[in-house]
Structure 1
Amino acid sequence: MSQSWDVSSMPDQSGKTVVVTGANSGVGLAATRAFARKGAHVVMACRSVERAESAKADVREDVPAASLTVGELDLADLDSVRAFAAWFEAQDLPLHVLCNNAGVMAIPRRETADGFERQFGVNHLGHFALTGLLLPHLRETPGETRVVTQSSGVHERGRIDFDDLHGEASYDKWEAYAQSKLANVLFAYELDRRLGGGDADDADVRSVACHPGYADTNLQRRGPEMSGSRLRLLLMKVANATLGQSPAAGALPLLYAATDPAVDGGDYVGPGGFMNMRGHPEKQRSSDRSYDESTARRLWEASSAATGVTYSLSDPA
């Protein structure tokens, strides 16, 4: 792979349909703009339809011919996830790429509509359910299709606490975030293993994990704002300004993972520059814990039980 891979390196996406969660801001919006510029039809799956419509108009200022559809999706509510999947089915569209991008980071303990700790519920369980419900579309779409799940370098400090997945006994916002981001990578790898056990007639679905490095987005501001800490908000703004790369640069690993022919199922992609926080995308190795197949299977079973979503895929074990 070239060390200078950027949006200009993306293959043409004409005729392809891409779903991007959290497409109204930050990395999701930057990715949406890039997909649209390359000819894809992008379904902007967002919690706020109003903000999504504003973002859609913003993209069309840059890409007048952009093919965009807004779909309402609240990953903190499984009823909304199921409603989005039903809505997507009614659109009668193929699905070439599902970008599990949306997330929350280091927030005070909150619960989703279904009683899950919010970071684990939104970052992992919501996307686990969404992927399972949309998987038939990915498998039925002719040719290669992909699921790209956005993680974070913080996953390296994560552990899956099966005795307290939702932080009811003890909660630390950064530990909860790290757990959810490790869950993203474990899920991406386990999904790819299970897809490898499917029938030969299935579509070639690849599951890939990625991380954006340190991108200057609203993601970092949410925690300080929710906790009412002006000092933390100020420090976060300073860190973003000095260390963060642009959302467009942060979107490059996701775009590479979603479109480049060199990417294989089970890959992990991130920026290859300073401390993997910035730079052009490259294949990397994730944490040792992320490759623990027994943990991945246990997490899969727990996620299916929690969401009520099952996959018609064989267990590689």
Structure 2
Amino acid sequence: MTSHWTEQHIPDQHGRVAIVTGGNTGLGFETARMLAERGATVVLAVRDIEKGKQAAGRIVGDVTVQALDLMSLASIRSAAAELRISHPRIDLLINNAGVMYTPKRTTADGFEMQFGTNHLGHFALTGLLLNQLLPVPGSRIVTVSSTGHRIRAAIHFDDLHWERSYGRAAAYGQSKLANLMFTYELQRRLLEQGNTIAVAAHPGVSNTELVRNRPAAFRLPVSWLAPLLTQKPEMGALPTLRAATDPGVAGGQYYGPAGMGEIRGYPTLVASSDASHDRAVQQRLWRVSEELTGVTFPLR
């Protein structure tokens, strides 16, 4: 495998349609930009349409904007319906959008904000768009996780929405662990159909606005150390782009930075925690996610 995989390694994307959630800023913007510059038709699926239009105007290529609020199942269903009409064929679904370390809040449907947005929102969107991907040779679903999936992370089936107690980091860890478990279970369910694969990626520690909700005590030290401990969004987007476009990628793989602690560096194949590979928990999470979202996948 290429040791220093860069933007220049992205294959030609002409004729491919890519949906990028959260594509108006940070990692999502860089992902969308690089795909569009390689010729893909890119849809920025974003909550703020005006910001989405501004972002699209900064990208060279075929880029449109789709309203999508991952904190609302009604919005997800509406967006998916519109996308099915405008794009009956989808080659790439990149589940990039997310929230991190938010104060205790719930989504429009009563889900804990981080679990509801990062996992359940993308679970529902993927299920509702899957028929647009399944017939397409080489289609991929890439879900962005985090090294945070290792931090105090477990799937708390007895209190998924943190109603008894709430910890920002633990809730974030649960959501990012769920992203990985979803990818692995989805890949197993995709095996028989032959065209679509599910892959995961993480950006390391990237200097984006995602960390705006980190506790105040960490803001000043992080701002001092940012040049040493983070990488620019265009580097942080490379693991996602490799997972989405590298011909050598296989379903169920996980990509992240190659540097020490996977904090920064060029994208490479990495390993996730032992907990993320627990099949019984993956399958239970899948069933619970279907029940909570009301979305079932057209797969066995």
* TM-score bracket relative to the smaller structure: over 0.9
In the alignment, structure 1 residue 117 sits paired with structure 2 residue 112 = yes
> Does 2:272 align with 1:272?
no
SS in structure 1 at match of 2:248: coil
Q: CA deviation at 1:232?
A: 4.0
Query: What amino acid maps onto 2:141 in structure 1?
Result: V
Contact 2:71 2:107 (8 Å CA) reproduced:
yes
Q: 1:18-167 counterparts in 2 under 5 A?
A: 18-59=18-59, 63=60, 66-141=61-136, 143-157=137-151, 158-167=153-162
Q: Identity of paired residues, percent?
A: 47
Deviation at 1:237, TM superposition (A): 2.7
Within the alignment, does 1:222 sit opposite 2:187 as a pair? no
Q: Which runs of 5+ in 1 are unaligned?
A: none
For normalisation by structure 1, the TM-score amounts to 0.92
Verify the 8 A CA contact 1:16 1:96 in the aligned structure 2: yes
CA contact (8 A) 1:108 1:223 kept: no
Q: Name which of 219, 230, 234 aligns with 1:244.
A: 230
> Displacement, 1:170?
1.1
Which amino acid in the other structure matches residue 148 of structure 1?
A: V
CA deviation map 1:229-273 (0-9, x unaligned): 4x5433343343431100000000000000001110000110101
For 2:222 and 2:57, locate their aligned partners in 1 and report how far apart those are by CA, in whole Å: 29
RMSD: 1.2
**Does the Cα contact within 8 Å between 2:130 and 2:298 map onto a contact in 1?**
no
Separation (CA, whole Å) in 2 of partners of 1:8 and 1:213: 20
Aligned mates of 2:266, 2:87 — CA distance in 1: 36
Matched-pair contact (CA < 8 Å) for 2:135–2:195: no
The CA distance in 2 between the partners of 1:273 and 1:14, in whole Å, is 32
| 2:174 alignment partner, one of 179, 185, 196 | 179
Q: Indicate conservation of the 8 Å contact 1:17/1:93, yes or no.
A: no
| Per-residue Cα deviation, 1:141-162 (whole angstroms, up to 9, x for no partner) | 3x11000000001101211110
Question: Match for 1:16: what amino acid?
Answer: R
Q: Give the conservation status (yes or no) of the 8 Å contact 1:221–1:236.
A: no
Between the aligned partners of 1:93 and 1:237, the Cα distance in structure 2 is 44
* AA aligned opposite 1:272: A
Look up the SS of the partner of 1:42 in the other structure. strand
Gap regions ≥5 residues in structure 2: none
Q: 1:188-239 deviations in whole A, cap 9, x for unaligned?
A: 000000111x3xxx45110001100011000011345xxxx4x543334334
Aligned equivalent of 1:10: 10
Structure 2: distance between partners of 1:117 and 1:240: 29
How far, CA to CA, are the matches of 1:117 and 1:220 in structure 2? 18
CA contact (8 A) 1:220 1:236 kept: no
Structure 1 residue 310 corresponds to structure 2 residue 296: yes
Deviation at 1:168, TM superposition (A): 0.3
